[in-house]
A and B are shown apart, each in its own frame.
Chain A
């Protein structure tokens, strides 16, 4: 079985700081995603990528950059952290071929706190 790993698990940043979150998967999945989840709420799509070097914006892309230099990895950058921001960032991957193969496998999340 494969695994999807997010680093770091916890991230404390300062207001205005640029922060980078990393995600690696060994499922050989084509498509990878970054979602933001605020406490007890649903998932909002920030960026996704259907293949190496591809980037697609989600509804929440403002304030974020992403990079997919290898098929197995997808990184997300918070370009300027907002004071008192607190959220969980979830990385996911899928085969992305549609239909029954569209389900996601999620990483364990990066918990961000900005002070």
Chain B
């Protein structure tokens, strides 16, 4: 069973709109979450990380974390066509801190 689940599988938003992506883990040993962005034909790049309950904002990107429910969400406001990419959520588990477990991704398309 996959340790990290992402939803939706794909998402289309208009340019200037808000994109909301979700990620949950079923493993109570999860301690940290990361969000990676992967443009088509490129390798994933770390976008944001969150380790504590609450919210973290960097420019147009906001990440929320609820550690009790092991749920994190990524929100992109004023979405741009250049934000179109595959967004991967990853989690680390304190019992094996060497490995990040990745979800299957949300494919975001921002339409001009």
**Chain A interface (Cβ < 8 Å from any Cβ of B):** 31, 33, 35, 40-43, 45, 48, 50, 56, 58, 90, 94, 96-100, 102-104, 106-109
| Smallest CB-CB A-B distances: 6 pairs | A98-B97, A42-B104, A106-B43, A43-B102, A102-B92, A96-B98
A64 to B92, CA, bound (A): 24
Check if B105 sits within 8 Å of A108, measured CB to CB: no
Question: A94-B98, A99-B92 given. 16 additional CB < 8 A pairs?
Answer: A42-B104, A45-B99, A48-B99, A50-B98, A56-B98, A98-B92, A98-B98, A99-B97, A100-B51, A102-B100, A103-B100, A104-B44, A106-B43, A107-B43, A108-B42, A109-B43
Count contacts between A and B, CB distance < 8 Å: 62
Check if B104 sits within 8 Å of A41, measured CB to CB: yes
Residues in B neighbouring A97, C-beta threshold 8 A? 97
A42 to B3, CA, bound (A): 12
| Nearest B-chain residue to A102, judged by Cβ | B92
Chain B nearest CB from A20 CB (Å) reads 20
Contacts A43-B88, A96-B98, A99-B97: A106 and B34 contacting too (C-beta < 8 A)?
no
Q: What secondary structure prevails in chain B residues at the interface with A?
A: strand
A41 to B86, CA, bound (A): 8
Interface size class of B (residues with CB under 8 A): 20 to 34
Check if B97 sits within 8 Å of A104, measured CB to CB: no
Contacts A41-B105, A42-B105, A98-B92: A103 and B97 contacting too (C-beta < 8 A)?
no
